[in-house]
Amino acid sequence: LVATVETLFGGQQAERSGNLVRQKGFGLDPGMVIVIRTENLSRVLLPNGRWFSNVTMSLLLQNDGIEHMRFRGQPPPLYRGRAPDAGYLTASIEPVEGGYNFALTADDAGSGFYALGLLDSVRLGTVRIEAYSPLAFPHGGWRDSLNAENLILQNAPILGRLFQVASLTGIGELLSGTGLSFSRVNADFNYSPVNFHFDSWQMLGPSIGITGQGGIDFESKLVNLRGTVTPLGALNEITQ
């Protein structure tokens, strides 16, 4: 199982065709089918050295892509006091007419993202991501929507530099210390193995509000983000 996870999510190359991206790296013979079904595995180790516990998973790999997948697992907590039966992350890929739907939910987004190696700067929070692609994972341009609540950003260097440029030093210091709280985060974005583009995002918290758009090009390692930052704490003082 660990070897299969490494094959699926290890370093892969990609080739672009218009707005779609087709991955390379599965190395499967044409017509080869892989089926995995597990229940209540005590631990599944990921290629990044992190893991999920209490894992139940089913997966159908066919035609050089994931045709069907269901996953439920519990990442190690990044904070003390999480209930033993909390923190589960669930994900699924389902074939639909003309493509594939992807869904992910987590009631401890920070721990789930950290275990997956996606984000190290998120703490706590609940999240739901829904996406669609005409090609099976890991191919595609995936069109996604994200909705999250009650999360904390901590030690996020890109945001920290933006706050310094905007002379929001107090908020930058909070970000590098106890963290910035956001009650709501919404984003619409497109993802492929070569780039990540936000059509729009909104982050609202007691100290700050952020809206914007832009993207990240993984090949050139360029970040192009633009938006508006509103220090809500100062605005509240003025209106009181």
Q: List, for residues 20-77, the tens digit of each pLDDT value.
A: 445 554 566 667 788 888 888 899 888 888 999 999 999 998 877 889 999 999 999 9
* Residue ranges, the chain, pLDDT below 50: 1-21, 25, 165, 173, 234-240
Q: How many helices (H) and strands (E) does the chain have?
A: 5, 13
Per-residue model confidence (pLDDT) at position 82:
86
Question: Are the CB atoms for 44 and 54 separated by under 8 Å?
Answer: no
CA nearest to 144, candidates 199, 91, 188: 188
What gap in Å lies between CA 206 and CA 181, rounded to an integer?
7
Question: Are the CB atoms for 203 and 210 separated by under 8 Å?
Answer: yes
Instruction: Extract the tokens encoding 11.
Output: 């370093």
Question: Are the CB atoms for 132 and 102 separated by under 8 Å?
Answer: yes
Per-residue model confidence (pLDDT) at position 10:
44
Query: What DSSP character marks residue 216?
Result: E
Per-residue model confidence (pLDDT) at position 128:
97
Strands 222-230 and 51-62: unpaired
Residue 12: C-alpha distances to residues 7, 8, 26, 120 (Å): 9, 9, 8, 22
- The pTM of this model reads 0.78
Per-residue model confidence (pLDDT) at position 63:
76
What are 105-113's contacts with CB under 8 Å, separation 24+?
Answer: 105/129, 108/75, 108/77, 108/78, 108/82, 109/148, 109/151, 110/78, 110/79, 110/151, 110/152, 111/75, 111/76, 111/77, 111/78, 111/79, 111/82, 111/87, 112/75, 112/87
What gap in Å lies between CA 52 and CA 36, rounded to an integer?
16
Per-residue model confidence (pLDDT) at position 28:
64
Instruction: Extract the tokens encoding 168.
Output: 């929001």
